[in-house]
Amino acid sequence: MVEIGGWEAGARRVGAAGALIAIAGLAAACGGDSGSGMGPSGTTKSVDVNLAVGASQVVQPDGQVLELHFPSASSDREYRVAVENVSTTIGTQSMRLVAGPTAGASGSVSPMLSLSRAGVGRGVANLDLGRLRRNDRAELRLRAHIRSMLERYRPEPARPGVGAGASASLVGVGSSVGDTLHINFPVAGQNLNITSCDSAAPDTITAVIKRVSNRAIFAADTANPDQFSSTDYDQLANEFDNYIFATDSAYFGAPADIDGNGHVIVLFTRRVNALTPANSSTFFGGFFLPTDLARTSSSSPDGSQSAGFCKHSNVAELLYLVAPDPNGAAGPTFTIAQARDNARVTSSHEFQHLLSAEDRVIKQSGTFGDLQDTWLDEGMSHIAEELVGLVIGQHGTRQNLAFADVTGSGGTALMDTTTQTTVFNVFHIENFARLAEYWLAPATTQALALKDPTGTASLKMRGFGYVFLRWLGDQYGPAGSGGAVPGSDEEALFRRIASGGPSLQTGVDDILGAISDVSGQSPTWAGLVGDFSIMADVDDIGVQIGRAEQTLPTWDMRDVFQGLHDNTTGSPPGNPFKVQPYPLLVTRSGFAADTSALDVQAATARYFEFSGTGSVPAFTLTLTDPSGAALAASAGAQVTVVRTR
The reported pLDDT for the residue numbered 316 is 94
- Residue 373 scores a pLDDT above 60: yes
Helix or strand holding residue 340 (H, E)? helix 336-358
- Residue 48 scores a pLDDT above 90: yes
Q: What is the pLDDT confidence band of residue 396, given thresholds at 50, 70 and 90?
A: very high
- 84 and 67 in one domain? yes
- Residue 111 scores a pLDDT above 70: no
540-567 as b/e: b if 16+ CB within 10 A: bbebebebebbbbbbbbbbbbbbbbbbb
Q: What is the dihedral of CA 119, 124, 126, 132, to 10 degrees?
A: -40
- 112 and 145 in one domain? no
Helix (H, G, I), strand (E, B) or coil at 83: strand
Rounded distance, CA 214 to CA 563, Å?
39
Rounded distance, CA 300 to CA 614, Å?
79
| pLDDT tens-digit series, residues 495-511 | 999 999 999 999 999 99
Q: Which residues contact 231 (CB under 8 A, 6 or more apart)?
A: none
- 582 and 516 in one domain? no
The answer to whether residue 239 is domain-embedded is yes
CB count in 10 Å sphere of residue 481: 11
CB count in 10 Å sphere of residue 161: 10
Type of residue found at 215:
R
The answer to whether residue 322 is domain-embedded is yes
The reported pLDDT for the residue numbered 107 is 65
Select from 343, 305, 306 the least CA-distant residue to 323.
Answer: 343
Q: Do strands 92-101 and 594-601 pair parallel, antiparallel, or not at all (unpaired)?
A: antiparallel
How confident is the model over 16-35, as a mean pLDDT? 31
- Residue 39 scores a pLDDT above 50: no
| pLDDT tens-digit series, residues 208-219 | 999 999 999 999
Percent of the chain at pLDDT exceeding 70? 84
Q: Which domain holds residue 293?
A: 136-522
Average pLDDT, the chain: 86
Most confident of 113-127, 399-413, 459-473: 459-473
| pLDDT tens-digit series, residues 411-429 | 555 544 457 888 999 999 9
3-state secondary structure 182-229: EEECCEECCCCEECCCCCCCCCEEEEEEEEECCCEEEEEECCCCCCCC
- Residue 4 scores a pLDDT above 90: no
Rounded distance, CA 310 to CA 150, Å?
9
- Residue 621 scores a pLDDT above 50: yes
Rounded distance, CA 601 to CA 559, Å?
28
- 375 and 397 in one domain? yes
Rounded distance, CA 313 to CA 291, Å?
6
Fill in the DSSP letter of residue 623.
E
Rounded distance, CA 108 to CA 188, Å?
67
- Residue 173 scores a pLDDT above 60: no
The answer to whether residue 461 is domain-embedded is yes
**Of the ranges 107-116, 353-362, 521-530, which one carries the lowest mean pLDDT score?**
107-116
- 154 and 289 in one domain? yes
- 51 and 20 in one domain? yes
Helix (H, G, I), strand (E, B) or coil at 447: coil
The answer to whether residue 556 is domain-embedded is no
- 397 and 325 in one domain? yes
- 106 and 140 in one domain? no
Q: For the chain, what is the radius of gyration of the CA atoms?
A: 26
Angle at 396 between CA 520 and CA 582, to 5 degrees: 95
The reported pLDDT for the residue numbered 300 is 52
- 468 and 395 in one domain? yes
Of 376 and 28, the one with more pLDDT? 376
**Of the ranges 19-23, 454-458, 638-642, which one carries the lowest mean pLDDT score?**
19-23
8 A C-beta contact, residue 332 and residue 280 = yes
The answer to whether residue 125 is domain-embedded is no
The answer to whether residue 554 is domain-embedded is no
Q: What is the pLDDT confidence band of residue 28, given thresholds at 50, 70 and 90?
A: very low
Of 214 and 153, the one with more pLDDT? 214
| pLDDT tens-digit series, residues 58-96 | 999 999 999 999 999 888 899 999 999 999 999 999 999
Largest distance between two CA atoms of the chain: 86
The answer to whether residue 551 is domain-embedded is no
Rounded distance, CA 75 to CA 87, Å?
37
Report the sign of the C-alpha dihedral through residues 3, 605, 575, 112, in that order: positive
Domain boundary among 487, 522, 557: 522
- 157 and 82 in one domain? no
How confident is the model over 574-587, as a mean pLDDT? 92
Q: What is the pLDDT confidence band of residue 47, given thresholds at 50, 70 and 90?
A: very high
Helix (H, G, I), strand (E, B) or coil at 86: coil
- 110 and 148 in one domain? no
- Residue 575 scores a pLDDT above 60: yes
496-514 as b/e: b if 16+ CB within 10 A: bbbbbbeebbbbbebbbbb
Of 384 and 154, the one with more pLDDT? 384
Q: What is the pLDDT confidence band of residue 521, given thresholds at 50, 70 and 90?
A: very high
Q: What is the pLDDT confidence band of residue 196, given thresholds at 50, 70 and 90?
A: confident
* 331, burial (CB in 10 Å: exposed 0-12, middle 13-18, buried 19+): buried
- Residue 44 scores a pLDDT above 60: yes
Percent of the chain at pLDDT exceeding 90? 64
The reported pLDDT for the residue numbered 484 is 94
Rounded distance, CA 380 to CA 77, Å?
39
Q: What is the pLDDT confidence band of residue 169, given thresholds at 50, 70 and 90?
A: very low
Of 408 and 577, the one with more pLDDT? 577
The reported pLDDT for the residue numbered 412 is 58
- Residue 518 scores a pLDDT above 80: yes
- Residue 163 scores a pLDDT above 50: no
**Of the ranges 31-45, 188-202, 260-274, which one carries the lowest mean pLDDT score?**
31-45
The reported pLDDT for the residue numbered 31 is 37
3-state secondary structure 94-154: EEEEEEEECCCCCCCEECCEECCCCCCCCCCCCCCCCCCCECHHHHHHHHHHHHHHHHHHC
| pLDDT tens-digit series, residues 319-357 | 999 999 999 999 889 999 999 999 999 999 999 999 999
| pLDDT tens-digit series, residues 252-290 | 999 999 998 999 999 999 999 999 887 777 788 999 999
The reported pLDDT for the residue numbered 390 is 95
Rounded distance, CA 60 to CA 82, Å?
12
Fill in the DSSP letter of residue 296.
S
The reported pLDDT for the residue numbered 58 is 98
The reported pLDDT for the residue numbered 165 is 39
Rounded distance, CA 603 to CA 586, Å?
17
Of 28 and 226, the one with more pLDDT? 226
- Residue 550 scores a pLDDT above 70: yes
Its pTM stands at: 0.90
The reported pLDDT for the residue numbered 482 is 81
The answer to whether residue 425 is domain-embedded is yes
- 205 and 145 in one domain? yes
C-alpha distances out from residue 486 to 388, 515, 554, Å: 12, 20, 11
- Residue 27 scores a pLDDT above 70: no
CA 313 distance to own-chain centroid:
29
How many Cα atoms sit within 13 Å of 296 on the Cβ side? Answer: 21
Domain count, the chain: 2
* 484, burial (CB in 10 Å: exposed 0-12, middle 13-18, buried 19+): middle
Type of residue found at 164:
A
